[in-house]
Amino acid sequence: MHGSDEILKADADSAALHLFAATAQSVPAYRALLLDHGVDAGAVRTIDDFRRLPLMTRENYVKRYPLAERCRGGRLSACDMVAVSSGSTGEPTFWPRALKDEAFSLARFEQVFGEAFQADRKKTLSVVCFPLGTWVGGMFTASCCRQLASNGWPITTVTPGNQRSEIFRVVRALAPMFEQTVLLGYPPFLKDLVDAGAAEKVPWSTLSIKMVFAGEVFSEAWRTLVGERAGMQRLMVDCASLYGTADGGVLGCETPVSIAIRRFLGDRIELASALFGKTRLPTLAQYDPRMRYFEQHEETLVVSSDGGVPLVRYHIADDGGVIPYGRMIERMKSSGFDPETEARGAGARAQELPFVYVFGRSRFAISYYGANVFPETVSLGLEQPAVRAQVTGKFVMEAREVSDNNLELSIAVELAAGQEGSDALCAAVEQSVLAQLLRYNSEFANYVPVERQVPRVTLLPVGHPVYFPAGVKHRYSRP
């Protein structure tokens, strides 16, 4: 193991044990969970003891115990803010937090805004494009941006939310007064924003645009496309994705090093598969294990983190895993690529923090003839040069029963503004998606009968009220 990995691991293990002891002492619900599993908190002394603790889940903890009992001291009033999860699983959940809990998330914002964007010394307009209200994305983002400003960074934050006309209004009026403008939002919304802005003559290329994404896995072809349209010249330092959840806050973030690695792996299917165990490309972030302690459990992620509701070995149900920093760098160098040199060439330094890779949640896939069809593979099909100008990149996929009880892979695809559907475009989209499914999904290629492999694409106008309603978080699959 790399020397810095050893030191960091020891510190992280100590922090995890301290979090456990504090939670067992101060959180009534956690004491009850331990009692139910016959765990003597006083006997948990080593990290091996820690790793034998029962997993927290939504079912056995979040849904079982009252909200106040999951807070420190059993007091909801000890928290000064309550956020609501996006409800992507259909069950929105309340997550209380105190201001001091934001220090963990703030550290990742500092990493992105400082290391990549140099916003600690450049006059920066931060435009929060996440939906505003009780939802966690907009609340946390605005809070962290303002805290950076309170620390002396020249950042001014404006919160138009996901209202496109308001975003254009503030960008046109304010962005020219700053050295750079950072747009923060969900990936498909920011792509829509850039495309619509170009149609309305918003001069993206003159505004030194940066972007912060969250919430979804996207391909490197998508990053390149959006970067080109927004006028971003150096993608390793002009954009970054945050890995966060409503329950744990910001858990990790993309860095110039992780982006360099991901872009290198984008067209190297065999290498990516050997590294991550799947041909799909995950989000690849770095994290501080002293603040967010990740474990890999049966190819899914478990995290321990302090907060308004402290989490100890919480199963967040994201498919993924962890890789120590030294091991990752050695693996890349043995493949003929040096990501640290790439980062330095972009003007950034490498932080020796471990990597967490995240595929998202497998329940967002659909099962089709026994093969899991993942949204990001379909996205790749819509990002190919032959079709990408005619569609927005949004879609909804379903395994639908048709005549004679046969299954059909049905994909509703949103047309770009001003585009009209045609049989020719439909066929082009179907073949583009099929090519990516056959390339990246061996299950699909081998399980699905050849005569059932071509997806049935339906082209729908922008903002279709059933499939693409405005103002809500988009869902790419239906059961």
pLDDT tens per residue across span 281-325: 899 999 999 999 999 998 899 999 998 999 999 998 788 999 999
Alpha-carbon distance of 135 to 88, in angstroms, equals 12
User: Which residues are within 8 A (CB) of 211 and not within 5 positions of it... i.e. 6 or more apart?
Assistant: 182, 183, 184, 190, 226, 230, 232, 238, 239, 240
pTM: 0.82
pLDDT in tens, 411-455: 999 999 899 999 999 999 999 999 999 998 877 888 787 888 999
Round to whole Å and give the CA distance between 147 and 101.
13
Asked whether residue 62 is domain-assigned, the answer is: no
- Please check whether residues 259 and 370 belong to one and the same domain: no
Q: What is the separation of C-alpha 185 from the centre of its chain, rounded to a whole number of angstroms?
A: 11
CA–CA separation, 140 vs 147, rounded Å? 10
User: Which of 339, 362, 385 represents a domain boundary (last residue)?
Assistant: 362
Residue 219 is predicted with a pLDDT of 84
Smallest CA-to-CA distance from 411 within 447, 466, 460 is with: 460
CA distance 133 to 354: 33
Helix (H) or strand (E) holding 329: helix 325-334
**Is 81 a domain residue?**
no
Other Cβ atoms less than 10 A from the Cβ of 178: the count is: 18
444 inside domain:
yes
Q: Which residues pair with 286 in a beta bridge?
A: 253, 355
Nearest to 228 by CA among 200, 254, 212, 209: 209
Measured at the CA of 254, the angle between CA 356 and CA 394, to 5 degrees, comes to: 100
For strands 407-415 and 391-401, give the pairing. Answer: antiparallel
Same domain, 139 and 261: yes
H or E segment and range at residue 212: strand 209-214
Shared domain for 345 and 407, answered yes or no, is no
Same domain (yes/no): 384, 300:
no
Residue 180 domain flag: yes
Residues in the chain: 479
Single out the residue in 362, 389, 423 at which a domain terminates.
Answer: 362
Tokens of 71: 């807070």
- Residue 298 and residue 339 share a domain: yes
Say whether both 425 and 453 belong to one domain: yes
Instruction: Let me know if residue 437 belongs to a domain.
Output: yes
Helices vs. strands in the chain: H and E counts, helices first: 16, 18
Question: What are the phi and psi torsion angles at 463 (to 5°)?
Answer: 75, 25
Q: Which domain holds residue 371?
A: 366-460
> Is-contact 378 433, C-beta < 8 A?
yes
Same domain membership, residue 396 and residue 276: no
pLDDT at 247 exceeding the cut of 90: no
Query: Domain containing 238 — which CATH number?
Result: 3.40.50.2300
Domain's final residue, options 341, 362, 383 = 362
Q: What is the C-alpha separation between 448 and 469, in angstroms, rounded?
A: 31
- pLDDT tens string 272-286: 999 999 878 899 999
Same domain for 258 and 375, yes or no, is: no
Can you name the residues that pair with 180 across neighbouring β-strands?
A: 124
Q: Which of 291, 365, 296 is nearest to 324 (CA)?
A: 296
Is there a domain that residue 54 lies in? no
Shared domain for 206 and 350, answered yes or no, is: yes
Looking at every residue in the chain, the average pLDDT score rounds to 90
290 and 411, same structural domain?
A: no
Q: Of the spans 37-41, 213-217, 245-249, which averages the highest pLDDT? A: 37-41
Residues with Cβ within 8 Å of residue 250, at least 6 apart in sequence:
104, 105, 108, 109, 140, 144, 242, 243, 244
Q: Is the pLDDT of residue 466 over 70?
A: yes
Residue 254 lies in a domain: yes
**How confident is the model at residue 248, as a pLDDT?**
82
pLDDT confidence of residue 318: 86
Q: How far is CA 124 from the centre of its chain?
A: 23
Run of H or E including 228:
helix 220-230
Amino acid identity, residue 81?
M
- Judge if 168 and 294 occupy the same domain: yes
Please enumerate in sequence order all residues whose Cβ is within 8 A of that of 386, keeping only pairs 6 or more positions apart, or say none.
428, 432
Give me the percent of the chain exceeding a pLDDT of 70: 95
pLDDT digits (tens, 9 = 90+) for 51-110: 999 999 989 999 999 999 999 999 999 888 887 775 444 456 888 888 777 778 899 999
Give the chain's domain count.
Answer: 2
What does the pLDDT look like over 354-363, one tens digit per residue?
Answer: 999 998 765 5
Report the pLDDT averaged over residues 186-201: 88
What pLDDT sits at residue 424? 96
If asked whether residues 339 and 421 sit together in one domain, one would say no
Answer yes or no: are the C-beta atoms of 381 and 434 closer than 8 Å: yes
Going through 220-365 in order, the beta strands assigned E by DSSP cover 239-245, 249-253, 283-286, 292-297, 300-305, 311-323, 355-360
Question: Could you tell me the CATH number of the domain that includes residue 451?
Answer: 3.30.300.30
91, part of any domain: no
Q: What integer pLDDT is reported at residue 227 of this predicted model?
A: 95
